[in-house]
Amino acid sequence: KFVRNIELRKDLLFSIHDEIQQEKKNLFMEEINRLENQDLLMTIDEIERRVGTDKKFKDNLPDIINFMKEEKARDVLYYIDEDIKEEVMYSINDNKRISLESKLLAKRIEQTKLADLASLYEAKPVEIALDEIGNTEEYTFEELGLIYKNLSILKSAEILSKIDEDNFIQEVFNAIRREEQLSREEESITNEISKSIQFITEYNKKIDDLVTVYEKMSPDKVAKIVEKMMTNNNKVTALEINSEPVYEISDASIIIDVLSRMRNKTMSNIMNNMESDKASMLTQMLARP
């Protein structure tokens, strides 16, 4: 009876041990699922915070990353603190490390490709860029966020000022801000882009109003105004970004913008009333890209 009781007690202890181990495993998997399913930025922030304060969590982190879905694990490792990333990559098994390194390289290549595309769009006319990155036909919002983030603020504003859909612009801004947060950038360029869009939109509206006014005037009167304004490059106003003027407006730029939006017939009547040398100069100014 005594021996039997000992055996029963052993069985009970083994059973309790198994239950405890299973409960630990369940809690471990629940934590992985939670980290996996919550927002990427929240997951990274939590991991970085807990690694510095919770030794047990720090020791378990390689296993957590190992059991995560690879897409989420890749994104976590791509943006997380470099020291944490290196420690995790060193601690996980070889097969998993090779797989994750391959996915990290692919993501790096994709982001570099989008940054290079931004350089191409920087040099393209606004209308062409608008057709390609002014919608989601070719790129996702996440990809557009990276492209616009790598464009100059002025170019981004020139393109987005042509778009009437506020929801589209807001989604692009959200994508830019998310990438900035993941990259730990303290200030967002979206504020400057928004300010620039407002400036350019207001300027374009005033130019359109001037076009309407000038088309109602006699060509000889407009010709005199054009001859006077086209040679004056003194700054009237300017768009400033980070206290630096990036888009200066002068009499010459105003009149060129007005004339470039006029009908061809109206333009020809105006130029017929101008002196030949000034008409020639105006032609060259209008032909500039």
Instruction: Please give the full DSSP string across 200-249, using - where no structure is assigned.
Output: HHHHHHHHHHHHHHHHHS-HHHHHHHHHHHTT---EEEEEEETTEEEEEE
Please give the residue that has the higher pLDDT: either 149 or 93.
Answer: 149
**pLDDT value at 24 more than 90:** no
Would the pTM count as exceeding 0.85?
no
**pLDDT value at 202 more than 60:** yes
Mean pLDDT throughout 169-180? Answer: 96
Q: Please, what is the Cα angle at 27 between 23 and 28, to 5 degrees? A: 115
Q: What's residue 141's pLDDT?
A: 96
Q: Please, what is the Cα angle at 136 between 175 and 102, to 5 degrees? A: 65
State how far the Cα of 153 lies from the Cα of 166, in Å rounded to an integer: 18
**pLDDT value at 241 more than 80:** no
Ranking 1-5, 96-100, 147-151 by mean pLDDT, the lowest is 1-5
**pLDDT value at 236 more than 80:** yes
For 5-26, the DSSP string reads HHHHHHHHHHHHHHHHHHHHHH
Q: Which of 215, 213, 149 is nearest to 176 (CA)?
A: 149
**pLDDT value at 63 more than 60:** yes
Q: How confident is the model at residue 104 (pLDDT cuts 50, 70, 90)?
A: very high
Q: What's residue 21's pLDDT?
A: 58
Q: What is the CA radius of gyration of the chain?
A: 31
**pLDDT value at 191 more than 70:** yes
Ranking 46-60, 73-87, 126-140, 243-257 by mean pLDDT, the lowest is 243-257
State how far the Cα of 233 lies from the Cα of 248, in Å rounded to an integer: 10
Rounded to the nearest 10°, the torsion over CA 80, 86, 88, 90 is: 170
Q: Are 225 and 262 in contact (CB under 8 A)?
A: no
Mean pLDDT throughout 141-146? Answer: 96
**pLDDT value at 243 more than 70:** no
Please give the residue that has the higher pLDDT: either 242 or 118.
Answer: 118
Q: How confident is the model at residue 233 (pLDDT cuts 50, 70, 90)?
A: confident
Instruction: Please count the CA atoms within 13 angstroms of the CA of 276 that sit on its side-chain side.
Output: 0
**pLDDT value at 4 more than 80:** no
DSSP code for 163: -
Please give the residue that has the higher pLDDT: either 240 or 162.
Answer: 162
Take residue 216 and report the two structure tokens written for it: 């109602």
Q: What's residue 31's pLDDT?
A: 87
Take residue 161 and report the two structure tokens written for it: 């000022």
**pLDDT value at 19 more than 70:** no
Mean pLDDT throughout 52-68? Answer: 90
Mean pLDDT of the chain: 88
Residue 140 makes CB contacts below 8 A (sequence gap 6+) with none
Q: What's residue 245's pLDDT?
A: 73
The pLDDT tens digits for 207-224 are 999 999 999 999 999 999
Q: What's residue 12's pLDDT?
A: 57
Q: What's residue 14's pLDDT?
A: 61
Beta bridge partners of 247: 239
Ranking 36-40, 241-245, 261-265 by mean pLDDT, the lowest is 241-245
